Amino acid sequence: MQDKADLVEQVRTGDLRLHELEAHADAETAAAARRAYVAAETGATLDSIGAHSFPAAETESNVENLVGGAQLPMGVAGPVTVDGGAASGEYFLPLATTEGALVASVNRGLGAIEAAGGATARVTDSGMTRAPVFRVEGVAEAEQVTEWVEDNRDRLRATAESTTSHGELLAVDSYVVGDNLFLRFVYDTKDAMGMNMATIATREAATLLEEETPAELVALSGNLCSDKKPAAINAVEGRGRTVTADVLLGRDLVEGRLGTTPAAMAEGNTRKNLVGSAKAASLGFNAHAANTVAAMFLATGQDAAQVVEGANAITTMDVREEGLYASVSLASLELGTVGGGTGLPTQAEALDVLGLGGGGDPPGSNADALAEVVAVGALAGELSLIAAFCSRHLATAHEQLGR
């Protein structure tokens, strides 16, 4: 095994490439050599990037060409009581962000929710998708293949599930566009977010389909999944967890804690979140649900790019005799408590703050609970921001908190 200086020199002379260093040194030395080389080439100082808490050897499934870590401030909001299908009790919410006022805003909303006795939340649907696209001769052949899929669901299920000890194939939906046949596979991935699981399982099912039908696989992902892109199909059919949280805030609570009235909140939500979003042709009808989703995703080791789908939410607010009814429904919240970045040290600690690290009992219950807590956090953020608009305190809050 070589030392850092030798590795840097070999990269400089072109004898080694950056991605080859782990073959000639341990992971820590390889990362240090990469930092030294990049620093020499760019003139940057990478001391802070090199000061990370995770063992370099444990990141090979998370990143390539490791140089260190990117640190984010993390705050905590709560506690808040959640009455969920899987979540139950009081939770502190870890939020990693660089946006001043965000944690304070979510915390204010959670305070109002807690004063009302807590929020209710339910995961109403769950399923990770992968949708390959196949080439067929034309619509008649597409019909033939679609009929084969209908008649052979058990074979497709057995083939797909042979690749995983946890995942279950729930459905296969067919979509025909000319000589393109899309098959949207839907999986129960338990406590994993499950994108890799779904991809590997679908590859095996696609191989079977090619062997048994005239269809030819063009791409294992045909974008009808739809992953990391705004998509109406996810808003309607869901992807990952579909979850709703709601709360009923008394009139005195809205006036005392949020500085406004139920009528003003309901009107503000309608004009901003519903009418404004409709005019913009938005797929999300909410104030800033992505803020809470992103902060909790970063804190707990989720795939940050899937905040695109996590922002796919509708916020409702209605005046009731008791006060204000408010809800947020997230159609496609893609998250997990095992796999991906959830095992990295700081992310694992954040999941431990929630009491939701690792696999649940029964399987899938921890990820369901996490989805419900995220939804309650998003609801708190919606309540706080709409109240800030209605009371005209938004700019003041950002001025006071440095933004």
pLDDT for the residue numbered 338? 96
Q: Are strands 323-333 and 313-320 parallel, antiparallel or unpaired?
A: antiparallel
**Which residues in the chain are classed under CATH 3.90.770.10?**
74-126+241-400
DSSP state of 230: -
pLDDT for the residue numbered 6? 85
| Cα atoms found within 13 Å of the Cα of residue 349, Cβ hemisphere only | 8
What are 32's two structure tokens? 């240090």
What are 176's two structure tokens? 């025909």
Return phi, psi of residue 143, to 5°: -65, -40
Q: Which of 83, 114, 173, 303 is catalytic?
A: 303
What are 378's two structure tokens? 């998003």
The residue type of 352 is D
Instruction: Reply yes or no on whether 398 is catalytic.
Output: yes
pLDDT for the residue numbered 165? 86
**pLDDT averages per 10-residue partition of the chain, 403 residues:** 85 90 91 92 93 89 92 96 98 96 96 98 97 97 97 96 93 97 97 95 97 97 93 95 98 94 95 96 94 98 94 96 97 96 95 96 97 98 94 53 53
259-303 per-position pLDDT tens digit: 999 999 999 999 999 999 999 999 899 999 999 999 999 999 999
pLDDT for the residue numbered 166? 86
Q: Which of 99, 143, 161, 173 is catalytic?
A: 99
Q: State the fold for domain 132-219.
A: Alpha-Beta Plaits (3.30.70)
Q: Which of 24, 166, 393, 398 is catalytic?
A: 398
pLDDT for the residue numbered 397? 46
**H or E element that contains 394:** helix 394-400
Separation of alpha carbons 156 and 195, rounded Å: 18
Separation of alpha carbons 354 and 167, rounded Å: 24
**What's the burial of 51, exposed, middle or buried (CB within 10 Å: 0-12/13-18/19+)?**
exposed
Token pair 């808040």 is found at 80
Instruction: Reply yes or no on whether 99 is catalytic.
Output: yes
**Which residues in the chain are classed under CATH 3.30.70.420?**
132-219
Selection from 392, 387, 391, 377 nearest residue 324 by Cα: 387
Q: State the fold for domain 74-126+241-400.
A: 3.90.770
Buried b (16+ CB within 10 A) or exposed e, 63-72: eeebbbbeee
pLDDT for the residue numbered 60? 87
User: Is the entire prediction scored with pTM above 0.85?
Assistant: yes
